[in-house]
Amino acid sequence: MRTLHRTFVRFLVITAPLGLAGCGDSPSAPGTGTLGIVTTTGGVTLDPDGYVVVVENDTLGPIGRDETQLWAPYGAGPVSVALGGIAGQCHVDGTNERTVQVIAGDTIYTTFSVLCDPVFGRVHLGLEVVGEKIDPDGFAAVIDGRDTLWLTGSVTFSALAGAHNVELHDVANNCQVTPGIRQLFEVPQDGDVAVAYQVECADLPGAVSVETVTSGRDLDANGYEIRTNTGATAALPANGTTMLTGVPSDSTTLELLDVAPNCGVVGQQTPLRVSVPPADTIAVRLEIVCGAGTALEFDGAQLAQLAGSAMPDMDSTWTVEFWFSSGGQSQYQVLVGQWGTIEVATWRDAQGRVGLSAGLYTAQGPEHAIAGVISDTNAGRWRHIAVTYDRGRMTVYVDGELRMMTTGFGRSTAPNSQFPLVVGARIRDSLGTVDAPFLGRIDEVRIWDTVRSAAEIRTWRDVLLPAGTPGLIGYWALDDGTGPGALDASGHGRDLMLGTVAAPDSGDARWVAPGRP
């Protein structure tokens, strides 16, 4: 009789020739016992159809990989038991054929622990890619949801015998897969199976999602216009998202048009070069800041300043940038400086030419200053100035071009950050004594704690910079247009104060429009 679960009881009638005493027709026959056969199976490639029970060289019947069967009646005494039908990659741990001592009136168990080794086959994974704009990065073949192969062509690999699946991932939007992304396959033992994919790609246009975020004052109410290098245009709101469709794949340029004079794109220049994958969409975010389009004007008796100790010591490396327009005075005039650290000044020579000097200035006078003429008689022209310092080398750039350089520039005193950073004049002592005032306009002052390269200076001098730009420790765009101070756009909160005292007075630099071009 066989039970309904994994334990079976079988009744055998053993004939005399088998040499077993106590033959009968039930497990309760006098002088007989019951034989319990237990199988457990472990390993990798398991026997697919289980085994057979062999008693005294007689095959009695099948038994599963993990099963218990009871066979009876057997006369008390030794009985030879083994498993048959074991697959080639499997073996019984220990001795297979064994002798079991049957005890009358009892059930005696013997356990066969079967271990199976892995058996492999070969998978020939074919990949054919045809068409245009083929994905250059290839594809990912994911086997059974866990193992990944990167494909650029056909491959052959080993896999455990049995059922598997493969999925083709990272397929570009302009490509179609035949017969489908997912395929099922069976790997035969020590055999081969072929799985094939065909990927067909087409040159399809893509799209660009353009988000505009505008902040500041006097925003452009009419929004903007975006134009691609193919001539396609679309209207953009001051704040919102617009989708450009039908954009040719690969490299495309985007140009922002109809931007008000007091507004500028932050952190990047347009035309902006983007790469649009075929039949795909990329996102572009344009941050526009609008100011009053102003600058600070100095009449020879005014200034703006940052309180002492508010600026970190600029000792080994730094860059100072700004725009200025000279009013035509001949005397020495400080543009931007901090007493004992750095001072950049302008002057006019006997021929009326505009000169520039830069160096370290202390109570003992200039130390290792460099100076030279930067333009002919053209008072009122806006010039961009950048001065860099790199551990003894000072370099001056005018309108993005190298103009002066000196080496061996060493300081005889430590940086004096207790003095304020001043725009438009010099404060040279703790009493607040002001001298060398400037006559003209100054705009877009930036201070870095890094050395800017010539390429960086040329590229970014006309671009508004976002807060948090690495290395930017002070940034006054001077587009505030009104008020007693100028906000620091670097994100460090180092706001400038107009004049020498917080309350408005005649010493405050004036807001004027327009600012630098």
Per the domain annotation, does 78 fall within a domain?
yes
3-state DSSP of 299-347: ECCCEEEECCCCCCCCCCEEEEEEEEEECCCCCCEEEEEECCCEEEEEE
262 shares a domain with 407: no
Yes or no: say if 446 and 474 are a contact pair by the CB < 8 Å rule: yes
Same domain, 232 and 210: yes
Identify the sign of the CA torsion 161, 163, 169, 173.
positive
For residue 411, what pLDDT is reported?
56
Domain of 430, CATH number, reads 2.60.120.200
What type of residue sits at position 245?
Answer: T
Mark which of 180, 201, 222 sits at the end of a domain: 201
Residues 334, 482 share a domain: yes
Beta carbons of 334 and 422 less than 8 angstroms apart = yes
Query: For position 174, which CATH number holds?
Result: 2.60.40.10
517 within domain boundaries? no
pLDDT of residue 15: 30
Other Cβ atoms less than 10 A from the Cβ of 302: the count is 24
Are 358 and 373 contained in the same domain? yes
Asked if the structure places residue 1 within a domain, the reply is no
Q: Which domain holds residue 428?
A: 295-512
C-alpha 424/C-alpha 422 separation (Å) is 6
Residues 156 and 225 in one domain: no
Asked whether residue 487 is assigned to any structural domain, the reply reads yes
Q: Report the Cα 245 to chain-centroid distance in Å.
A: 26
**If you count them, how many residues does the chain have?**
517
In a shared domain, residues 438 and 485: yes
Residue 134 lies in a domain: yes
Shared domain for 403 and 489, answered yes or no, is: yes
The rounded distance, in Å, linking the Cα atoms of 403 and 396 is 6
Say if residue 312 is in the same domain as residue 454.
yes
The 3-class secondary structure across 105-170, one letter per residue, is: CCEEEEEEEEEECCCEEEEEEEEEEEECCCCCCCEEEEECCCEEEEECCCEEEEEECEEEEEEEEC
Q: Are 38 and 112 in contact (CB under 8 A)?
A: yes
Last residue of one domain, picked from the residues 56, 82, 116 = 116
The pTM is what? Answer: 0.60
Residue 503: predicted pLDDT: 84
Name the domain count of the chain. Answer: 4
Q: Is residue 2 part of a domain?
A: no
First to last CA, the chain: 102
3-state secondary structure of 511: strand
CB 327, CB 424: distance < 8 Å: no
Please indicate, yes or no, whether residues 139 and 223 belong to a single structural domain of this protein: no
**pLDDT given for residue 242 in this prediction:** 94
Statement to judge: residues 224 and 241 lie in one domain: yes
Q: Distance between CA atoms of 403 and 381, rounded to whole angstroms?
A: 17
Amino acid letter, residue 326: S
Please indicate, yes or no, if residue 257 is contained in any of the structural domains.
Answer: yes
In this structure, are 146 and 134 located in the same domain? yes
Final residue before a domain boundary, out of 201, 223, 255: 201
Residues 6+ apart with CB under 8 A from 365: none
108 and 192 assigned to the same domain:
no
Structure tokens at 174: 């302009």
In a domain, 320, yes or no: yes
What local confidence, expressed as pLDDT, does residue 121 receive?
Answer: 95
Phi, psi angle pair for 16, to nearest 5°: -60, -40
Task: Determine what percent of the chain falls in helix, strand and coil, rounding each to the nearest 5.
Answer: 0, 55, 45
Q: What is the pLDDT along the chain (517 residues), one digit of tens a residue?
A: 333 334 444 444 333 333 333 333 444 578 899 999 999 999 999 998 999 999 999 999 999 999 999 999 999 999 999 999 999 999 999 999 999 999 999 999 999 999 999 999 999 999 999 999 888 789 999 999 999 999 999 999 999 999 999 999 999 999 999 999 999 999 999 999 999 999 999 999 999 999 999 887 778 788 999 999 888 889 999 999 999 998 988 888 999 999 888 888 887 777 889 989 899 999 999 988 887 789 999 998 899 998 756 777 766 789 999 999 987 677 889 999 888 778 899 988 888 788 898 887 666 666 667 888 887 655 678 999 999 988 888 899 999 999 999 887 665 444 555 788 999 998 887 788 898 999 999 999 999 999 999 999 999 998 888 889 999 999 999 999 999 999 999 999 999 999 988 888 888 999 998 888 7
d(CA 253, CA 515): 29
